[in-house]
Amino acid sequence: MKHLIRVMLVDDHQIIIDGIANMVRDAEGVVVCCTAPDAAVAMEMIPVHHPDIIITDLSLPGKSGIELIRQITDKFPEVNTLVLSMYSTEDYIFNSIRAGAKGYLLKQDTTKAELLKAIRIISEGSQYFSDQVAQVMARMYSHHARSSTSGNSLPKQVNLTGRETEILRLYAHGLSNQEIADSLNISIRTVETHKNNIMQKYNFKSTVDMVKFAIRNKLTDL
């Protein structure tokens, strides 16, 4: 029997809790096992309800969502956390990931399909970041890593086509799928196809892995 993914929701607004619960309610293999209005209650409920994933806001009464993530990472390392927040700035994203978050979605953009996709990917041990968050992370990583000289050259056993290299470079500069499509005068579907090919060739798990690779190998300078 397939493992049922148990999800805890942490948010101090009941309307948000209800909305997320409704999105997950009929999803196959996913169940909301409990909810909490703040970090203190969440920490008390974890050993009682044994969630696999905790979806949390960052703006909570008392301790912040980032502090909650840090406590979960320290005390319950087997439990994964997914941020669902309205904040899309570098400091919130960076501090959440540094605290141990495995994913980050934006409340204003997240659909039911993407939320469930994130839950399932994270439950399998990978990370998930929405496209907009990944773009912020790419710009942030590029800013800090552009001067690094420790990168390795491209593996000789794997070759990218000219178009794949071009698209990888544009992702590393923080462009979205639509912006890349407009820049190269191709369709979004074509951009996504090339992206999937790149990720399969190098076994990347996320867009962020792909961007880090491009920066380490100085493809942003081509």
Higher pLDDT, 136 or 70: 70
Can you list the domains of the chain with their CATH numbers? 5-129 (3.40.50.2300), 137-221 (3.40.50.2300)
Sheet holding 103-106, edge to edge: 30-36, 5-10, 53-56, 80-85, 103-106, 128-129
* DSSP symbol at 101: -
Q: State both tokens at 19.
A: 């909305």
The residues with which 9 forms a beta bridge, in sequence order, are: 35, 55
User: Is residue 103 within 8 Å of 125, Cβ to Cβ?
Assistant: no
pLDDT at 157: 44
The residues with which 36 forms a beta bridge, in sequence order, are: 10
Q: How confident is the model at residue 144 (pLDDT cuts 50, 70, 90)?
A: low
Q: Of 126-135, 192-201, 213-222, where does mean pLDDT reach its minimum?
A: 213-222
Largest Cα separation within the chain, whole Å, is: 54
Q: Does the pLDDT of residue 146 top 60, yes or no?
A: no
Residue owning tokens 């690094």: 148
Question: What would the pLDDT profile of 184-216 be if each residue is shown by its tens digit?
Answer: 999 988 998 888 888 888 888 777 788 878 877
Question: What value does the mean pLDDT take over residues 125-140?
Answer: 84
Residue 17: name the closest of 114, 107, 79, 121 by CA: 107
Question: What value does the mean pLDDT take over residues 134-152?
Answer: 62
Other beta carbons within 10 angstroms of residue 115's beta carbon come to: 23
